[in-house]
Amino acid sequence: MDSKKDTFTILNAAIDGVKPSLLIKNQIGLKDNILRIKEEQTDLSLYENIHIIGAGKASAFMAQSLEEILGNRVTSGAVVVKYDHGAPCQKTKILEGGHPIIDENSLAGTGQILNVVQRAGEKDLVFCLISGGGSALLEKLPQGISLPDLQNTFKQLLECGAAIEEINTVRKHLSLVKGGQLARAIAPATCITLIISDVIGDPLESIASGPTAADPTTFRHTWQVVEKYELADRLPSPVKHYLQEGIEGKNPETLKPGDPIFDKTQNIVLGNNFLSLKTAEQTARGLGYNTLILTSQIQGEAKEIARATAGMISEIIASGHPIPRPACLLMGGETTVTIRGTGKGGRNQELVLSALLSLKHVSEPYILVSCGTDGTDGPTDAAGGMISGETWAKTRKLNLNPQEYLGRNDAYHFLDKVGGLIKTGPTGTNVMDIIFALIP
């Protein structure tokens, strides 16, 4: 049993299992104009034109795979992806924009998407392809809100430790396409939205801020997030003014459940974190490990999750509970980091470095991996990080102080020194993070 080799076999399987090409091939089929999507069937002969739009890190690969099925039935299309996340398509224009902070190209790309749907009539079908990252890549600004205003606001939200659902609650109410408003732009055409989920529990209203889904949140909920994280004095004045006017009913709300717009809209989740974990579990079993998926819904501060994870690794080593060795313990979800330093890193790198401190006295072999399935962890070129029973020895040999690196949120440079960075490059998918430990 080669644990290090097994680590990357399991990680690659987890990522490959949720790539758009496989998800679409396994769940979508076309025969005699009848398109099957999971249990749903659609007669394509009822539509005059078919358009493809979308946003997110995986949307170009989703468009590529969907085009392969639909062939010359596609009339036109446009999707916005993060820089360097494109894929070759025939009819769908691939546009790039900023992530995690929106930029001018995100706005321009959204403009081209809106041009596509404005041409769609009552007898047309629009496929909307949504994946993680869509919130930053799909945007039309309300009047009075500038791009720097929005960039500043998103930066504050990302750094304060807010959960993704809270961040997206604010995003939806500073947008003219989120919170079901893209569905309104698509109407009167029929809309089928295909989704690769990067949000815990797959809530349709939160994935990419729910552009074609009903939104139960309101401007009042948005202000509760602002107050919870004490952002009121730090947000740009136009943003605060717009939100306050929304509370007073002066700005339009997002689309709510029961809106007739959704009578011609379907939202279908094709892939999520649990599917990735199941694929990883099957691979680990094939390699001879006893396996346990703890949850696909991890959330909270990376440092806190790290301590709990380290405790479980120590328990398996000490008592063989909850699974005997050789063991593969699997979790998924998305942690957060409250940024207090000026270092370089991401939530996955911070998690494994934090866990190292709790595992420094463990002498038995183990490997712990935490990795973003999209290939990106924070504003770095790493997908995540890994530590092992050998990492603490390297730490001492190099005279490194992990606590100092954590204090300045600088996990990247620590892991780089001890050989603990994982670099996959863009993977073409995004279902949050996968965390697993191997204890041979």
Cα-based distances in Å from 59 to 168, 171, 246? 19, 20, 31
pLDDT at residue 161, rounded to an integer = 82
Give me the residue spans of the domains in the chain.
20-140+175-217+254-271, 274-439
Q: CA–CA separation, 86 vs 94, rounded Å?
A: 6
- CA 18, 5, 344, 294 torsion-angle sign: positive
Bridge partner list, 433 = 333, 372
Phi and psi at residue 300, to the nearest 5°: 120, 180
**What does DSSP assign to residue 123?**
T
List, for the chain, all residue ranges whose pLDDT scores fall below the cut of 70: none
pLDDT at residue 347, rounded to an integer = 97
pLDDT at residue 147, rounded to an integer = 97
pLDDT at residue 1, rounded to an integer = 82
Superfamily name and number for 20-140+175-217+254-271: Glycerate kinase, MOFRL-like N-terminal domain (3.40.50.10180)
Q: Half-sphere exposure of residue 318, counting CA atoms within 13 Å on the CB side?
A: 9
Task: Concatenate the DSSP letters of all residues of 20-78 into one string.
Answer: HHHHHHHHEEEETTEEEETTEEEEGGG-SEEEEEEESTTHHHHHHHHHHHHGGGEEEEE
Are 208 and 134 spatial neighbours (Cβ–Cβ below 8 Å)? yes
pLDDT at residue 279, rounded to an integer = 98
Tokens representing 430? 């995004």
Q: CA–CA separation, 245 vs 326, rounded Å?
A: 59
Are 156 and 100 spatial neighbours (Cβ–Cβ below 8 Å)? no
Are 87 and 56 spatial neighbours (Cβ–Cβ below 8 Å)? no
pLDDT at residue 434, rounded to an integer = 98
- pLDDT, one tens digit per residue, over 65-88 is 999 999 999 999 999 999 999 999
Question: What's the chain's average pLDDT?
Answer: 96
Architecture of domain 274-439: 3-Layer(aba) Sandwich (3.40)
Tokens representing 344? 């370089």
Q: Other C-beta atoms within 10 Å of 198: how many?
A: 31
pLDDT at residue 162, rounded to an integer = 87
Q: CA–CA separation, 29 vs 70, rounded Å?
A: 9
Whole-prediction pTM:
0.92
Tokens representing 63? 């468009």
Are 434 and 371 spatial neighbours (Cβ–Cβ below 8 Å)? yes
Q: CA–CA separation, 387 vs 377, rounded Å?
A: 16
Where are the strands (E) in 179-258, listed by range?
190-196
